[in-house]
């Protein structure tokens, strides 16, 4: 498939497609972080994760509308408020869902998968009823427009860079929370040995709820970031859910670093191949390779060999 | 070393240089021991000594990093779990794992060594021979009256017996039992000791146990494990008076 | 207990359930419905094939596949390819730039039939492929996953990804597959026009016949020791393995069985509906198939048939009058089936209707009950006859799970 390209042309193609792949990478990382927390730490499959992300996106959409109408002077800073709101709205809904539904289904992971799929159908239809079937977009504040000129050929759009920075800061934040905080220690204790964690006084039900809410909240931030690079529709979330699950599983469910590495690998592979093949074949090939590798190495890229 | 290898043929089970490591941690470290036919061997040792891991390695649940396990002349480390079962090794787990939804009869019937392939299981018929084998084993494990009870309704001790029965009906040459009397009442313990004595008339038995009274009752020989290695081996009296063993159990 | 003659079995309670279903499908619905509606029921029934497979695979053995649409679609496409070739004679396609190939190939500038289409000129090859292609794929997936002990949610996600891959592939390769429109404009089967009302009614009865054949096979498997191993494997995989069974082989078998059922269902779908498209394969279609099985009761093969009928009838009903409410209803169904009644309609039937039946049976049978014991309900098996000869015609085992 490389016929007819010189090596220098190939280099710049790879560079260009690499940058293009970075915004896919950002979406993957943002979505996968929340999923990985919920799945890796609690064993719960949240099929409605994409819909939580879209909830964050709609929250951002409404916030931007509010600022435009009532606080036009502060419009440049609305995004930070929106991100916070998106986190809170999604985390609150997540906690509610955990209380209503998920807590009855621990140890039945396949059933959580089906129940959250049902939830995703309901959420999607609710968006369609409230916001309409058409996609909506937010207006970017001025400072996010434009691009950095790196070389004559290569320029980086500021909004893309900004989203990537958010994605990576969330990844760092999640790492610090999980591995450097008291809360994270408790979560890991519950994951490893629930009865023992309860015996030493950890409120495991509370930890579960907080973890699920946190995962959903991160999905909300992901949604806020998502509005910066694309428009939002009722089923935009579903388009990413399978890819993101593959990202999480491929990276090794318990490993945050693995999640980032696999998000990077999958997004780069897909966008590079997209240049040479049609978009759909690039996706087919990427997914096939991922599924193939998972069949050979089911524990994912980064997994500990542990005594069970 | 070569002398030990040539001797291996006379043993029913010969474990040599067995090692398994999990991310660098050696749970079992260069372990060797030998079982004579019809012997009852008890493995004791402090928590985390690697006792259960040894059983896991022999029955194929865990794959060895290095070393060999020769059973009746066959190398077990290269076989799959069901092949190891077919070559005559039965394993009982620490917590009773019986099929709670099935009756006692059906539990034993499922374990009957026939119809193990997919098509075999499709063609399997409950004939005279099956019924007789089930009834005979039920007699041995004190469950003749409970044949039609669902296994879920059995007491903890009865479930342990049922699982032993499920091994017996496979007619294994080597039975491996992981803490068979854990959580049992005093009367149940006594009955279990009786049961084991009956079993050992025509089986070799490898037992993990903590209860020293019980160990004294049943063991021909005792192997003491510590940190994945054999610390001491011999009769119960010999082991009890071994200063290394006393150090490990009382020293800290 | 040598009373296992088929006639007596039909008098047993289980036999009556099958007779009731047969009566509904063969007599009642054809009398009540016009050919158009009956054709719709036929379409719903093709999903019941998938649901029966899911009962065996997911309900019994605990293997949740979110990619059953793949097998349904492969079976359907195999049949559609045969029908399409039959419809694309050089005479009928004379206006194309390349006559004799399917119209969508001509539109996509293909000038000859792709190699993998060639064998579908043969009807016997097609019949083999309808089952063979899905089973082969299921075997490859099953072999790769189950021998490496991949199961549970990982298996579910990977099968879902495979459904996504196949859909994208079919849509992307328009020239070879007909793309997003699928393979349409199918007319005759070996010269027999399948679009007439009479043909549609005939196809409906063929579909019902095939359905009972699949029910019979599923029932045979579930009542043999094989069925017991599948259920045991779900609860205590380790114990089954250390009782000397090759667990992976059993899983592969049941996954292939479910794929075969789905393939047959897909082929019947193509015949009854008259086309096949990627929308019946993808993620959404595949996961909906799980709800047919879950609503009917994940442990009941008869329940699966009712589940498929009811969900699809409800879907058509909703989309005729309140299309915007259907996703809410479907979502609620998923959540309700999981949270409130995990054993579905069959479970509800067992809890609420069977006690009434018990009374009825006891009163009606009286003294006769001793001679021919009615089919015992799952948990209330009569203890006395357990050690008698194993009778494959009596469904003596169907455990309830929480």
ipTM for the complex shown: 0.86
What is the rounded CA–CA span in Å between residue B163 and residue B99? 9
Give the residue with greater pLDDT, A119 vs A241: A119
**pLDDT for the residue C320:** 85
Nearest-CA distance B170 → chain C (Å): 8
Say if strands B66-71 and B13-22 run parallel, antiparallel, or are unpaired.
Answer: antiparallel
**pLDDT tens digits for chain C (402 residues)?**
444 566 777 777 888 889 999 999 998 999 999 989 999 999 999 999 999 999 999 999 999 999 999 999 999 999 999 999 999 888 888 888 888 899 999 998 888 899 999 999 999 999 999 999 999 999 999 998 898 888 788 899 899 999 999 999 999 888 999 989 999 989 888 888 888 989 999 999 999 999 999 999 999 999 899 998 999 998 889 899 999 999 999 999 999 999 999 999 999 999 999 999 999 998 999 999 999 999 999 999 999 999 999 999 999 988 888 888 899 999 999 999 989 888 889 988 888 888 888 887 776 554 443 433 333 333 333 333 333 333 333 333 333 333
Question: Of all residues in chain B, what percent carry a pLDDT higher than 70?
Answer: 95
A-C interface: how many C-beta pairs under 8 angstroms?
Answer: 115
Per the structure block, which two tokens stand in for C279? 């929308």
Element (H, E) at A291: helix A279-296
Contact A197, A190 (CB under 8 A): yes
Q: Per the CB < 8 Å rule, is C153 touching A110?
A: yes
φ, ψ for residue B207, nearest 5 deg: -120, 140
Contact B174, B71 (CB under 8 A): yes
Which of C243, C390, C400 is nearest residue B110 as measured by Cβ atoms?
C243
Q: Per the CB < 8 Å rule, is C150 touching A298?
A: yes
Give the residue with greater pLDDT, B202 vs C265: C265
**pLDDT for the residue C85:** 93
Q: Is A124 on the interface with C (CB under 8 A)?
A: yes
- Mean predicted confidence (pLDDT) in B20-40: 86
Q: Which pLDDT tens digit goes with each residue over B169-183? A: 988 899 999 888 888
Which of A111, A125, A288 is nearest residue C327 as measured by Cβ atoms?
A125
Q: Which pLDDT tens digit goes with each residue over A232-278? A: 888 888 888 888 888 888 887 667 788 888 888 888 888 888 777 77
Nearest-CA distance B243 → chain C (Å): 38
Interhelix angle for B156-168 vs B104-111, to 10°? 30
Q: Which residue in chain B has the smallest CA separation from C378? A: B101
Q: Is A130 on the interface with B (CB under 8 A)?
A: no
Per the structure block, which two tokens stand in for B14? 């010969």
Per the structure block, which two tokens stand in for C73? 């679609």
What is the rounded CA–CA span in Å between residue A84 and residue A82? 5
Q: What is the largest CA-CA distance in chain A?
A: 67
* Global pTM value: 0.88
Element (H, E) at B14: strand B13-22
| Alpha carbon A148 to chain centroid, angstroms | 26
Residue B209, pLDDT above cutoff 70: yes
Q: Which residue in chain A has the smallest CA separation from C146? A: A295
Burial class (CB in 10 A: 0-12, 13-18, 19+), C290: buried
The DSSP secondary structure of B105-171, one letter per residue, reads: HHHHHHHSSS--SHHHHHH----HHHHHHHHHHHHHTT-GGGTTSBGGGS-HHHHHHHHHHHHHTT-
Q: Which residue in chain A has the smallest CA separation from C294? A: A114
- Mean predicted confidence (pLDDT) in A196-219: 89
Q: Which residue in chain B has the smallest CA separation from C241? A: B82
Residue B252, pLDDT above cutoff 60: no
Q: Is residue A221 part of a domain?
A: yes
What is the rounded CA–CA span in Å between residue B145 and residue C387? 13
Q: Which residue in chain A has the smallest CA separation from B48? A: A307
Give the residue with greater pLDDT, B96 vs C306: C306
**pLDDT for the residue C154:** 85
Residue B3, pLDDT above cutoff 70: no
**pLDDT for the residue A153:** 60
Contact B218, B207 (CB under 8 A): yes
Contact B97, C239 (CB under 8 A): yes
Nearest-CA distance B23 → chain A (Å): 6
- Classify residue C102 by its DSSP letter: -
The DSSP secondary structure of C318-381, one letter per residue, reads: HHHH-GGGHHHHHHHHHHHHHHT-TTHHHHHIIIIIHHHHHHHHHHHHTTHHHHSPPPPPTT--
What is the rounded CA–CA span in Å between residue C349 and residue C300? 11
**pLDDT for the residue C278:** 94
Q: Is residue A7 part of a domain?
A: no
Q: Per the CB < 8 Å rule, is B53 touching A307?
A: yes
Contacts of B104 in chain C (CB under 8 A): none
Residue A57, pLDDT above cutoff 90: yes
Element (H, E) at B231: strand B229-234
**pLDDT for the residue C386:** 33
**pLDDT for the residue A183:** 86
φ, ψ for residue B7, nearest 5 deg: -70, -25
Q: In total, how many domains does chain A have?
A: 1
Contact B161, B169 (CB under 8 A): no
Dihedral (CA of C65, C70, C73, C79) sign: negative
Interhelix angle for C13-22 vs C301-321, to 10°? 30
Nearby residues of B110 by Cβ (< 8 Å), 6 or more positions away: B99, B102, B166, C225, C228, C229, C232, C240, C243
Which of C224, C242, C401 is nearest residue B81 as measured by Cβ atoms?
C242
In this complex, which chains have at least 3 CB pairs below 8 Å with chain A? B, C
φ, ψ for residue C380, nearest 5 deg: -110, 55
Residue A132, pLDDT above cutoff 90: no
Contact C294, C287 (CB under 8 A): no
**pLDDT for the residue C363:** 64
What is the rounded CA–CA span in Å between residue A95 and residue B198? 58
Which of C224, C239, C250 is nearest residue B124 as measured by Cβ atoms?
C224
What residue ranges do the domains of chain C occupy? 37-324
What is the rounded CA–CA span in Å between residue A276 and residue A279? 9
Q: Per the CB < 8 Å rule, is C239 touching B97?
A: yes
Contacts of C257 in chain B (CB under 8 A): none
**pLDDT for the residue C218:** 96
Q: Per the CB < 8 Å rule, is A306 touching B53?
A: no
Beta bridge partners of C221: none
Put simply, the chain C residues between 55 and 114 with a CB less than 8 A from any chain A CB are 58, 62, 64, 66
Residue B231, pLDDT above cutoff 60: yes
Nearest-CA distance C222 → chain B (Å): 9
Angle A211-A217-A218 from CA coordinates, rounded to 5°: 95
**pLDDT for the residue C383:** 34
Q: Please choose, from the candidates A240, A245, A260, A241, the residue with its C-alpha nearest in 3D space to the C-alpha of residue A302.
A: A260
**pLDDT for the residue A166:** 86
Contacts of A306 in chain B (CB under 8 A): 22-23
Q: Per the CB < 8 Å rule, is B27 touching A306?
A: no
Contacts of C165 in chain A (CB under 8 A): 284, 287-288, 291
What is the rounded CA–CA span in Å between residue A308 and residue A305? 9
φ, ψ for residue A52, nearest 5 deg: -65, -40
Contacts of B27 in chain A (CB under 8 A): 307
What is the rounded CA–CA span in Å between residue A83 and residue A217? 10
Q: Which residue in chain C has the smallest CA separation from B60? A: C242
In this complex, which chains have at least 3 CB pairs below 8 Å with chain B? A, C
Range of the domain at A184: 16-241
- Where residue A62 falls among pLDDT bands split at 50, 70, 90? very high
Q: Is residue A54 part of a domain?
A: yes
Q: Per the CB < 8 Å rule, is B126 touching C224?
A: no
A111-137 burial code (b ≥16 CB/10 A, e <16): bbbbbbbbbbbbbbbbbbeebeeeebe
**pLDDT for the residue C213:** 96
Nearest-CA distance B24 → chain A (Å): 10
Sheet holding B174-178, edge to edge: B89-92, B174-178, B204-208, B40-44, B221-226, B229-234
Q: Is residue A300 part of a domain?
A: no
Residue A13, CA distances (Å) to A16, A17, A47, A262 in order: 5, 6, 35, 22
Q: Per the CB < 8 Å rule, is C249 touching B118?
A: yes
Contacts of B23 in chain A (CB under 8 A): 304-306
Contact B120, B98 (CB under 8 A): no
In this complex, which chains have at least 3 CB pairs below 8 Å with chain C? A, B
Interhelix angle for C68-87 vs C283-296, to 10°? 120
Residue B247, CA distances (Å) to B53, B251, B252 in order: 23, 4, 8
Q: Is residue A46 part of a domain?
A: yes
What is the rounded CA–CA span in Å between residue C328 and residue B190? 61
Contact A115, C338 (CB under 8 A): yes
Based on its alpha-carbon atoms, the radius of gyration of chain C, rounded to whole angstroms, reads: 22
Looking at chain C, the number of H-run helices and the number of E-run strands are 19, 2
**pLDDT for the residue A163:** 85
What is the rounded CA–CA span in Å between residue B53 and residue B69? 13
Beta bridge partners of B18: B31
Q: Is C161 on the interface with A (CB under 8 A)?
A: yes
What is the rounded CA–CA span in Å between residue C232 and residue A158? 58
Q: Please choose, from the candidates C46, C40, C43, the residue with its C-alpha nearest in 3D space to the C-alpha of residue C72.
A: C46
Contact C26, C205 (CB under 8 A): yes
What is the rounded CA–CA span in Å between residue C75 and residue C81? 10
Contact C289, C51 (CB under 8 A): yes
- Where residue A91 falls among pLDDT bands split at 50, 70, 90? very high
Looking at chain B, the number of H-run helices and the number of E-run strands are 11, 10
Q: Which domains does chain B have, with CATH numbers?
A: 2-250 (3.40.50.300)
Q: Is C328 on the interface with A (CB under 8 A)?
A: yes
Q: Is B112 on the interface with C (CB under 8 A)?
A: no
What is the rounded CA–CA span in Å between residue B44 and residue B40? 13
């Amino acid at each position: 498939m490389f016929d007819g390209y010189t090596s220098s042309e190939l280099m710049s193609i790879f560079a260009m497609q690499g940058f293009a792949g970075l915004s896919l990478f950002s979406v993957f990382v943002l979505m996968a972080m929340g999923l990985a927390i919920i799945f890796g730490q609690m064993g719960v499959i949240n099929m409605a994760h994409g819909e939580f992300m879209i909830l964050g996106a709609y929250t951002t959409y409404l916030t931007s509308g509010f600022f435009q109408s009532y606080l036009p002077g502060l419009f440049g800073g609305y995004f930070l408020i929106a991100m916070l709101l998106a986190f809170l709205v999604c985390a609150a809904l997540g906690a509610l869902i955990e209380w209503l539904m998920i807590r009855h289904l621990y140890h039945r992971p396949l059933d959580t998968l089906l129940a959250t799929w049902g939830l995703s159908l309901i959420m999607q239809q609710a968006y369609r009823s409230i916001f309409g079937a058409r996609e909506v977009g937010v207006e970017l504040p001025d400072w996010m427009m434009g691009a950095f000129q790196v070389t004559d050929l290569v320029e980086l759009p500021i909004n893309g860079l900004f989203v990537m920075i958010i994605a990576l800061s969330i990844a760092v934040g999640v790492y610090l929370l999980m591995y450097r905080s008291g809360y994270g220690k408790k979560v890991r204790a519950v994951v490893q040995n629930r009865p023992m964690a309860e015996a030493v006084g950890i409120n495991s039900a509370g930890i579960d709820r907080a973890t699920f809410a946190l995962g959903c909240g991160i999905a909300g931030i992901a949604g806020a970031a998502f509005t910066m690079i694309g428009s939002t529709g009722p089923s935009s979330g579903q388009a990413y859910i399978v890819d993101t699950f593959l990202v999480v599983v491929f990276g090794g469910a318990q490993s945050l670093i693995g999640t980032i590495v696999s998000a990077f690998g999958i997004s780069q592979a897909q966008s590079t191949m997209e240049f040479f093949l049609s978009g759909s074949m690039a996706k087919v090939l990427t997914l096939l390779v991922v599924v193939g590798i998972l069949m050979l190495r089911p524990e994912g890229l980064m997994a500990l060999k542990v005594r069970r | 070393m070569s002398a030990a290898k040539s001797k291996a043929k006379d043993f029913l089970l010969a474990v040599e240089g067995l090692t398994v490591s999990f991310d660098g941690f050696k749970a079992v470290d260069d372990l060797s021991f030998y079982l004579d036919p019809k012997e009852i061997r008890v493995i004791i040792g402090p928590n985390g000594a690697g006792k259960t891991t040894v059983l896991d390695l022999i029955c194929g649940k865990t794959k060895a990093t290095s070393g060999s396990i020769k059973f009746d002349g066959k190398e077990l480390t290269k076989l799959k779990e069901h092949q190891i079962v077919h070559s005559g090794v039965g394993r009982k787990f620490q917590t009773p794992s019986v099929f709670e939804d099935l009756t006692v009869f059906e539990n034993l019937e499922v374990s009957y060594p026939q119809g193990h392939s997919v098509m075999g299981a499709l063609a399997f018929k409950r004939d005279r021979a099956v019924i007789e084998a089930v009834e005979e084993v039920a007699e041995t494990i004190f469950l003749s009256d409970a044949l039609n009870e669902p296994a879920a309704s059995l007491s903890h001790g009865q479930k342990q017996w049922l699982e032993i029965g499920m091994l017996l009906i496979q007619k294994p040459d080597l039975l491996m039992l992981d803490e068979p009397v854990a959580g049992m009442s005093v009367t149940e313990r006594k009955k279990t000791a009786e049961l084991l004595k009956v079993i050992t008339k025509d089986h070799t038995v490898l037992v993990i146990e903590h209860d020293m009274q019980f160990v004294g009752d049943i063991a021909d020989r005792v192997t003491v494990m510590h940190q994945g290695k054999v610390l001491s081996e011999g009769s119960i009296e010999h082991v009890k008076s071994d200063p290394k063993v006393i150090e490990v159990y009382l020293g800290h | 207990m040598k009373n296992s003659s088929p006639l007596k079995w039909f008098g047993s309670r289980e036999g009556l359930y099958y007779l009731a279903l047969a009566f509904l499908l063969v007599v009642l619905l054809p009398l009540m419905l016009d050919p158009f509606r009956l054709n719709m029921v036929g379409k719903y029934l093709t999903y019941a094939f998938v649901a029966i497979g899911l009962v065996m695979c997911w309900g019994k053995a605990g293997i949740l596949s979110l990619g059953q649409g793949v097998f349904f679609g492969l079976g359907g496409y195999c049949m559609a390819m045969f029908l399409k070739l039959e419809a694309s004679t050089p005479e009928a396609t004379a206006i194309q730039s390349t006559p004799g190939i399917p119209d969508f190939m001509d539109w996509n500038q293909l000038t000859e039939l792709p190699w993998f289409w060639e064998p579908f000129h043969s009807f016997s090859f097609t019949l083999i492929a309808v089952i063979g292609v899905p089973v082969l794929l299921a075997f490859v997936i099953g072999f790769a996953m189950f021998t490496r002990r991949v199961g549970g949610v990982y298996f579910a996600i990977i099968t879902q990804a495979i459904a996504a891959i196949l859909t994208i592939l079919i849509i992307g390769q328009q020239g070879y597959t007909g793309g997003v429109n699928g393979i349409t404009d199918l007319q005759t089967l070996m010269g027999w026009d399948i679009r007439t009302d009479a043909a549609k009614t005939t196809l409906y009865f063929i579909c019902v016949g095939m359905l009972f054949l699949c029910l019979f096979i599923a029932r045979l498997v579930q009542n043999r020791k094989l069925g017991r191993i599948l259920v045991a494997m779900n609860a205590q995989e380790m114990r089954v393995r250390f009782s000397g069974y090759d667990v992976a082989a059993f899983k592969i078998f049941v996954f292939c069985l479910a794929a075969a059922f789905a393939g047959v269902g897909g082929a019947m779908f193509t015949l009854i509906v008259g086309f096949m498209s990627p929308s019946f394969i993808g993620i959404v279609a595949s996961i909906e198939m799980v709800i047919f099985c879950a609503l009917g009761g994940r442990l009941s093969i008869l329940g699966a048939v009712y589940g498929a009928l009811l969900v699809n009838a409800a879907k058509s009903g909703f989309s005729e009058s309140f299309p915007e409410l259907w996703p809410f209803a479907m979502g609620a169904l998923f959540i309700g089936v999981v949270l409130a009644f995990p054993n579905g309609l069959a479970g509800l039937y067992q809890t609420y209707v069977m006690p009434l039946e018990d009374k009825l049976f006891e009163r009606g049978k009286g003294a006769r009950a001793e001679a021919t014991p009615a089919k015992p309900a799952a948990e209330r098996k009569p203890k006395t006859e357990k050690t008698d000869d194993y009778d494959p015609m009596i469904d003596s085992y169907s455990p309830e799970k929480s």
